[in-house]
Structure 1
Amino acid sequence: MSATALRVAFAGTPEFAAVALDAILAAGHTVPLVLTQPDRPAGRGMKLQASPVKQLAQQHGIAVAQPHSLRLDGKYPDEAAAAREALQAAHADVMVVAAYGLILPQWTLSLPRQGCLNIHGSLLPRWRGAAPIHRAIEAGDAETGITIMQMDAGLDTGDMLLITREAIGADDTTAALHDRLAALGGRCIVQALAQAAAGTLQATPQPAEGVNYAHKIEKAEAAIDWHLPATEIERRVRAFDPFPGTTFTVHTAPGKDKDEVVKLWRASVVPASGQPGEVLRAEGDTLVVACGEQALALHTLQRPGGKRVAAREFLQSCTLPASLA
């Protein structure tokens, strides 16, 4: 191992984390142990599926631990104790954490010689918490980025080690921004590890002002409130792509088929007005719905069990009432 390489334990679960692990390995660091969430049922057959991080670790022959919890006094003390033994045996210089999904107790934070570094998908302290990419788009932020943070016992409260900014485009979805930030996170953590190996990594405390919490996205947030301004609804459409999507209900006439919950995947703001939820135009390839302020042109929609289609195809297959409210 070269003088600039470190022994890096890694904790992460989804694709965002797998991109970072791949970058760490490509940079020549030794990864003796990976922690990731237990396999989960997925797909139509609901078969157990390994996380993207576990799949990558197995491709590289890296030992994997999958405890349900790391709390020694919690519901799974044996799993936590086994994970601690594995981490102790790994003799890691540092642990990198990216979208792991479990709370790290103090014993975990203190065990590696240089502690735990977190790859956080926002410009701290603007968005702490579980869904910083979604919430940045939903709020209409002009930029976001990656913060490499020295983890402490708080929720994303540790000192900042490295910050890199990324513009949010006017048509960015969470899916698109996620992929750019995942790649950026990989580059940033490699840079931070190089500085850590050289002893030049410097910490800056987070400002006390400007703290927001990016709460986890709930399915209940998907339903569109047409009383909101069109700009807010349009941002939410992009923020909730690919999950959970934004939805509206098409109420059918009595005696007809049951109501349908339609997903809206792409829309744009147009200078029109009417009662919130009023269908202002529904012909050809144009579908416009009034909002609390201005109106929304609906471009890409999806009926239950169907695929995403343009407004023209949607209108050919669905008769809309005068109002969606």
Structure 2
Amino acid sequence: MPMELRQLRAFEAAVRHRSLTRAAAELGLSQPAVSMQVQALEEELGLRLLDRLPRQVLPTAAGEVLLDYARRLLSLEQEASQALVDLRGLQAGSLRVAASPTIGNYLLPEMLGRFRQRHPGLRVIADIAPSHRVAEALRGRQAEVGLVEVEVEADGLVAQPFCTDELVLVVPAGHPWAGRPYVEPQELLGARLVAREPESGTRALVEARLRAVGIEMAPAMELGGVEAIKNAVRAGLGVSFISRHAIALEERLGVLSAVPVAGLDLRRPFYCLHEARRYASPALQAFLTFVLGEECGGAEGIAP
């Protein structure tokens, strides 16, 4: 016995006003239209719901039973409509972001703070993983958007650059190179290199750029995280190539120094990833607009 919301709405209004005429005025319908809705509901249920008296209508016993359910259903309909309006207006909802380590640890917190100021009703869940894991999270629907340090080639994913990063040669305070305007590439051959793990996209980029200027550096030490590498450099265990974003605090404190390498360009774009064929929720649309637009001011923006 199907019941339509419009029938329940007409019935509930008639009971509340004790009048088909006043119910019609509230619903913006004619009195005969409201009467027909209630009659159709009665026919579908096989029960009389209203006693139609000369000056008013009153619910029957069956009408009293239905009234409570009707009001709950109509209330749920209103809640559902409001929830969708809130989602569309970004007053509610959630977004899952996956980011590679440098972005996740050093850029994303500030970015999310700025994004939350614009959309305080949105809940953002962030996961940090290597770039290839970020791509896997998107394909596995474990994240809606990814932020990575290398361009990931994967079917169905759209990669858009959103800011320019620069890897820099980092040395500890007191190192002979600290404070120099630059070092020559050949000088690197005598240095102990503290490198990321072999599967790191950052390491692959550094090695490729070094080879382009004729330098091959075998790592003296491999560590799996930027913080561990920074601590190793501070301890005098070697030098490394790290994102400038990741050493901002240490540079201010004077414990690490960034030294240019003559002729070595270590700039790279950071990429925003999302699935091409996935429905873009209002929250995802807002985040993409934020990241790809000028609002992403925590990063340096795309270099001209």
Shorter-chain TM-score category?
A: under 0.3
Normalised to the residue count of structure 2, the TM-score between the two structures is: 0.22
Q: Which has the higher strand share?
A: 1
Q: Which has the higher helix share?
A: 2
Which structure is higher in RCO with an 8 Å CA cutoff and minimum separation 6?
2
Normalised to the residue count of structure 1, the TM-score between the two structures is: 0.21
